């Protein structure tokens, strides 16, 4: 699949077929995370892959009732939880080197996009889920203090096509030379 086709064609998928994700496909997706860029190649990401229906349904209790991805947690054969190791991305000798502090959100965000695009190119669906009780999720999964749960995605073969939410026009977010200046 052409890269622009993958970027434009990927949609958030919230309904999945029960078919399992083959082991070699999972391996390819983990390689897409592995080869993502990161701050000074710190690779702060870690992934918890959940197949156990009991763990999936326990984790689903961390999502608020209004989260549109709530039912996806049970229907997807696999749920991937992206975690980040604190205090390495954006740091040099233990000191944050920019006003942004820890860049783990950024690096894990890139890794998540790699994963979602790779999944889409292989015919699988994903939906990035960020709205949940992160502390509760960390407790359920036994995540240690120095690691943060950032986001998760259900993963599986799509049972429906996703709708395409409208995007801003390029002219609405691109400026010329200075912020706010139109070319
Ligand atoms: C950081 C982030 C957090 C998100 N959190 C949720 C979420 O909690 N629940 C959900 O259903 N979708 C969530 N989404 C999916 C967005 O709603 C979706 O990407 C957006 O509406 C655009 O649709 P598309 O992915 O089909 O292009 C999230 C996406 C991102 C990037």
List, for residues 25-78, the tens digit of each pLDDT value: 999 999 999 999 999 999 999 999 999 999 999 999 999 999 999 999 999 999
Q: Which atom of ligand 1 is nearest to the CA of 69?
A: 11
Q: Where does the pLDDT of residue 88 fall: very low under 50, low under 70, confident under 90, or very high at 90 and above? A: very high
Residue 183 has pLDDT above 90, yes or no: no
Is residue 162 within 6 Å of ligand 1 at its C-beta? yes
Q: In 35-103, which residue ranges form alpha helices assigned H by DSSP?
A: 53-60, 72-75
pTM attached to this predicted model: 0.97
Contacting residues for 44 by C-beta, under 8 A, at least 6 apart: 38, 84, 85, 86, 88, 89, 104, 107, 108
Is residue 105 within 6 Å of ligand 1 at its C-beta? no
Q: Where does the pLDDT of residue 15 fall: very low under 50, low under 70, confident under 90, or very high at 90 and above? A: very high
pLDDT at 117: 98
Buried b / exposed e across 104-131, counting CB within 10 Å, b at 16+? bbbbbbbbbbbbbbbbbbbebbbbbbee
Q: What value does the mean pLDDT of the chain take? A: 97
Other beta carbons within 10 Å of 66: 7
Is residue 47 within 6 Å of ligand 1 at its C-beta? no
pLDDT at 24: 98
What whole-number distance in Å separates Cα of residue 177 and Cα of residue 183?
8
Element (H, E) at 47: strand 45-50
Residue 170 has pLDDT above 90, yes or no: yes
Is residue 12 within 6 Å of ligand 1 at its C-beta? yes
Residue 159 has pLDDT above 90, yes or no: yes
What percentage of residues in the chain have a pLDDT greater than 90? 98
Q: Calculate how far, in angstroms, residue 97's C-alpha sits from the geometric centre of ligand 1.
A: 30
What whole-number distance in Å separates Cα of residue 67 and Cα of residue 24?
31
């Amino acid at each position: 699949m052409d890269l622009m086709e993958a970027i434009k064609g990927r949609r958030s998928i919230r309904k999945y077929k029960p078919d399992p994700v083959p082991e070699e496909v999972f391996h390819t997706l983990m390689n897409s995370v592995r080869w993502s860029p990161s701050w000074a190649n710190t690779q702060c990401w870690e992934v918890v892959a959940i197949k156990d229906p009991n763990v999936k349904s326990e984790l689903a209790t961390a999502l608020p009732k209004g989260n549109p991805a709530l039912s996806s947690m049970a229907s997807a054969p696999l749920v991937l939880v992206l975690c980040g190791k604190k205090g390495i991305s954006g740091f040099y000798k233990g000191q944050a080197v920019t006003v942004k502090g820890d860049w783990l959100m950024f690096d894990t965000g890139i890794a998540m996009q790699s994963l979602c695009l790779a999944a889409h190119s292989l015919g699988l669906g994903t939906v990035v889920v960020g709205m949940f009780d992160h502390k509760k999720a960390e407790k359920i999964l036994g995540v240690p203090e120095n690691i943060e749960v950032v986001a998760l995605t259900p993963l599986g073969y799509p049972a429906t096509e996703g709708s395409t939410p409208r995007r801003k026009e390029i002219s609405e977010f691109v400026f010329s030379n200075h912020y706010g200046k139109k070319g």
